[in-house]
Amino acid sequence: MTKQLFPLALGGLGIGTTEFAIMGLLPDISSSLNVSIPIAGHLISAYAFGVVVGAPILVALSAKFPPKNILIIFMFLFTIFNALSIVSPDYSTLLISRFLSGLPHGAFFGVATIVASRLAKKGKEAQAIASIFTGLTLAILLMVPLVTFIGHHLNWRYSFGVVSLLGLFTILFLYIWLPSMKPLRSVSFKEELEFFKTIKAWHILTIVAIGFAGLFAWFSYIAPLLIHIAGFNIEVVSYLMIVAGAGMVVGNIAGGYLADKRDPVIVAIFLLFLMVISLLLVFFFSESKIVSIILTFVCSALALSFGSPINMIMLKSAKHSEMLAAAFIQAGFNVANSLGALLGGIPLLYGLSFNYPALVGAGMALFGAILCLLFYRKYER
């Protein structure tokens, strides 16, 4: 982590906090706004939809400007829209503010990914990209438990106040420490879109949407898995989420290191197959508390280690379309989020136990690994 990359990681910290903290605040929000928890859960979907919509559109509109200015504008929008959540008088207004908050998410990470790769030393590009996502993983490890505690014991609106404060600090450090750079787009937007008319582009995005969805099939139902299968008390689950956050921090760093040392496609294949094995172990051995703790760390580490290799694959493939490609990757991750939660919940609808989402996740990760192998055979070998 360098001084130049720190503002990008700080932005990731704020984005990760607002994305994941809402999950722990749903009971408080539903009670405060007089809606059911399932209805309040639409706030999560609204944010994810905002990411998918905003990533390509905002990048397309802003790519001709200097990246420092773009990132400051994106973080300004992020701060304003999260501040709107603080004063939302009803559920409908909050739903709109959550959608708006998601708009700059993918665009910020998309531009930040290219900036980090340009600022990195030769051969250290993937580690520089991983440093951005360190903020996202630290959000899960530290900030999400903190703002969830604040939301439970004071008011859920204060949680969005903390996020808005992180946004303001990010704007400040972007202005002070991020160097000025020339606009990142070297071709017209029409030419930039040419890459997304190729099978190769959608092959990569399908790997993200399906392979990474294996994580969310498991992670979306991790709390009931730990309570009903492993036998942990509900009070212990928040501490086990810190274990998951620690795994994500370690995995993110390891993924960046591996992607710089080896072919990112080979690294992605290797990690996806390890994810398949680890999720199968979750399915078969989650009744053991000790094994559950270990697998919570391992699965989280493997999941986040996948981020840097897949970003490098996309950047190396998308000549002259890097920024739009990086934004689409973020949209792909959020599609994976929704798809994993949806498919992972199907066994539960048929009365199966809470270890079955991990089995669904193993199948999705396996499909992603096969797609990666096909990608290697067609484009890399």
Q: Which residues of the chain fall short of a pLDDT of 50?
A: none
Please tell me the distance from the alpha carbon of residue 67 to that of residue 133, in angstroms, as a whole number: 18
Q: Report the pLDDT value the prediction gives residue 186, as an integer from 0 to 100.
A: 60
Per DSSP, helices labelled H in 178-236 are 189-192, 199-211, 213-219, 222-224
Helix (H) and strand (E) counts in the chain: 19, 0
Q: What is the pLDDT of residues 225-270, one digit of tens each?
A: 888 888 888 777 777 878 888 888 888 888 888 888 888 899 999 9
Tell me 182's DSSP state: -
Which contiguous run of DSSP H or E holds residue 105? Answer: helix 91-119
Contact in structure between 268 and 375 (CB atoms under 8 Å): no
Sign of the torsion formed by the C-alpha atoms of 289, 291, 294 and 295 = negative
Q: Of 314, 103, 139, 138, which is closest to residue 209 (Cα–Cα)?
A: 314
Q: Report the pLDDT value the prediction gives residue 187, as an integer from 0 to 100.
A: 60
Contact in structure between 241 and 108 (CB atoms under 8 Å): no
Q: What is the pLDDT of residues 170-202, one digit of tens each?
A: 999 999 988 887 766 666 667 777 788 889 989
Please tell me the distance from the alpha carbon of residue 112 to that of residue 329, in angstroms, as a whole number: 13
Retrieve residue 343's tokens.
């498919």
Q: Report the pLDDT value the prediction gives residue 38, as an integer from 0 to 100.
A: 64
Q: State the CB neighbour count (10 A cutoff) for residue 273.
A: 18
Please tell me the distance from the alpha carbon of residue 25 to that of residue 363, in angstroms, as a whole number: 31
Q: Report the pLDDT value the prediction gives residue 346, as an integer from 0 to 100.
A: 85
pTM for this model (two decimals): 0.79
